[in-house]
């Protein structure tokens, strides 16, 4: 029987380096070093890319850029007590005026804002 050789990590690094991506090594014995990146990737997959049919790399880049904008400005975060990073520091008062729905990613995600 012949054993299949595992692909060395250098081969993966070479593929990414060829596309101009910088390789950052994680420190041994530091399991929490990637926690922020892994959390975003998990959230982006669950809320966005798993629900869409991605046509090509350009489409994926557009979808991820739009989702990242939503994630960084409008989406509630647990670490911020379910407030969005762009929210004002004051207590959010109950809106007196009309509320308007704004669709993100073609209606996959809905954001709500005060109507102007």
Whether the model clears a pTM of 0.85, i.e. scores above it, the answer is no
d(CA 80, CA 73): 12
- Token pair for residue 115? 């109507």
pLDDT per residue of the chain (116 residues) written in tens, 0 to 9: 445 555 677 887 888 888 888 887 777 777 677 777 788 889 899 988 898 899 999 999 999 999 988 888 888 877 777 777 877 776 555 555 778 888 888 888 888 887 76
- If you ran DSSP here, which 8-state letter would residue 75 be given? S
- Token pair for residue 17? 């380096």
Phi-psi region of 85 (alpha: psi -120 to 50; beta: other; left: phi over 0): alpha
> How do the domains of the chain map onto residue ranges?
32-86+93-114
Would you state the pLDDT for residue 63? Answer: 92
The torsion angles phi and psi of 43, rounded to 5 degrees, stand at -65, -45
């Amino acid at each position: 029987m012949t054993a299949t050789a595992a692909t060395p990590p250098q081969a993966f690094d070479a593929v990414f380096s060829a596309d101009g991506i910088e390789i950052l090594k994680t420190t041994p014995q530091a399991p929490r070093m990637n926690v922020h990146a892994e959390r975003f990737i998990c959230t982006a997959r669950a809320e966005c890319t798993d629900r869409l049919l991605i046509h090509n790399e350009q489409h994926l880049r557009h979808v991820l850029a739009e989702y990242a904008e939503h994630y960084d400005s409008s989406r509630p975060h647990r670490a911020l007590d379910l407030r969005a990073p762009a929210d004002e520091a004051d207590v959010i008062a109950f809106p007196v005026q009309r509320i308007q729905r704004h669709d993100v990613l073609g209606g996959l995600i809905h954001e709500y804002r005060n109507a102007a």
